Chains A and B, each alone.
Chain A
Amino acid sequence: EAGVTQSPRYAVLQEGQAVSFWCDPISGHDTLYWYQQPRDQGPQLLVYFRDEAVIDNSQLPSDRFSAVRPKGTNSTLKIQSAKQGDTATYLCASSPGGAGTGQLYFGEGSKLTVL
């Protein structure tokens, strides 16, 4: 069974540039999460979806961040006008559901460096 796939693995930007991260969850997983993980810190929840619906995006740092999951499968996280403080690894995870009792399956992450 294929795992969670993320791309690109690495991105290096100048401040002010935009970047999009793509996530393909495990087939059949209806819940999808985006986390931000600064270096040597714990993952911090940004947004999560159940099917195509946003359940909670209140943790997105600013309106420069947006996320969509239009068909309830793949998802894209976009950062507009990136800042140095956005430097982090962006992790996507999916879960088969289970109302908080299901395991999260993570991708390898997309490491962003903003110069």
Chain B
Amino acid sequence: QQKVQQSPESLSVPEGGMASFNCTSSDRNFQYFWWYRQHSGEGPKALMSIFSDGDKKEGRFTAHLNKASLHVSLHIRDSQPSDSALYFCAASDTGNYKYVFGAGTRLKVIA
């Protein structure tokens, strides 16, 4: 069973709009979260991490973590066509360096 569930599978937003992604861990051992982005033909690149309850903002990107429910979200404001990519949530098990990825959300930003 997939330990990390992501939704939606795909998303289209207009340029300048807000894109929102959701992720939940089903294993309480995996409670450190990361967001990665992958453009076509490239490897995933880390966007940001969140380990504590609440919000974390980095530029146009804001992540929110609820540790009680192991739910994390990512919001991109003022979306740009260059943001079109696959977005992955990853959860890590701090006990043994293990990182598990979700199935991803494909974002398309329409100019």
Contact = CB atoms under 8 A, between A and B. Distances in A.
Interface of A: 4, 31, 33, 35, 40-45, 48, 50, 55-56, 91, 93, 95, 97, 99-101, 103-109
Interface in B64-111: 86, 88, 90, 92-104, 106
B105 to A, nearest CB: 10
A38 B1 CA distance: 17
Contact of A56 (B36, B43, B98, B104): B98
A4 B42 CA distance: 12
Given A42-B101, A103-B46, A56 B88 contact: no
A109 to B, nearest CB: 5
Contacts, number: 73
Contacts of A4: 43
Nearest to A89: B43
Given A100-B93, A101-B32, A107 B101 contact: no
B44 A43 contact: yes
A24 to B, nearest CB: 14
A101 B88 contact: no
Interface of B: 4, 6, 32, 34, 36, 41-46, 49, 51, 86, 88, 90, 92-104, 106
Contacts of B34: 103-104
Nearest to A49: B97
Contact of A104 (B32, B46, B94, B96): B46
Contact of B103 (A41, A97, A108): A41
A45 B100 contact: yes
A3 to B, nearest CB: 9
A48 B98 contact: yes
A93 B92 CA distance: 14
A108 B41 contact: yes
Residue in A31, A97, A109 whose Cβ sees the most chain B Cβ within 10 Å: A109
B82 to A, nearest CB: 18
